[in-house]
Amino acid sequence: MAHNLRHFGWLILVTDGQAVSRNSPRREQRKWARLQLAIPVFVRSRDENGKESLEFATAINISAGGALVVVRRSLAKSSLVSLEIPSAPIGPAHGIRRSSRAIRAKTVWVTHLNDYHLLGLKFGRPLSTDAVAIPRAQLRKAGSAM
């Protein structure tokens, strides 16, 4: 059975007809605009005993500073992971270094939904040395001009 994940407003995810919502308005902390993409990724981590695991997962949005990833195996907040992009769908033309296909990140929040877990990841360093913080107000103005 296919699962249906969607992103609306604050964050509503629907899977098998059930929904989870983050309705409480939170102060925007992102420095970079997010791209709403579904990118296959590998999440490499270690459990509390030091045993390494590798899980195939999906990043459902990504920015120069972090990503939202859907996984089956839950991780604790503050867990260190390596996010590996198997066939980098965006590359040199977008200013992303080749070495960025394996990205060190920290889990900054975790939300659980049935058999899935949403990981809010913050990258150890931005994806691109050319990444420039763009005020969100400017992004809205640029998007509304189209």
pLDDT at residue 10, as a whole number? 39
Q: Which CATH number does the domain housing residue 44 bear?
A: 2.40.10.220
Measured CA distances, 143 to 86, 90, 137 (Å): 30, 21, 10
Q: pTM of the entire structure?
A: 0.62
Answer yes or no: is 67 within a domain.
Answer: yes
Cα–Cα dist 122/103, whole Å: 10
Answer yes or no: is 36 within a domain.
Answer: yes
Assigned token pair, 46: 């270690």
Answer yes or no: is 117 within a domain.
Answer: yes
Answer yes or no: is 48 within a domain.
Answer: yes
Measured CA distances, 91 to 61, 67, 124 (Å): 16, 16, 19
Answer yes or no: is 133 within a domain.
Answer: yes
Answer yes or no: is 51 within a domain.
Answer: yes
Q: How many domains does the chain have?
A: 1
Answer yes or no: is 24 within a domain.
Answer: no
* Contact (Cβ atoms closer than 8 angstroms) between residue 58 and residue 52: no
Mean pLDDT by 10 residues, the chain (146 residues): 42 44 53 85 90 94 93 92 76 53 92 93 81 54 48
Domain that holds residue 139: 29-144
Answer yes or no: is 100 within a domain.
Answer: yes
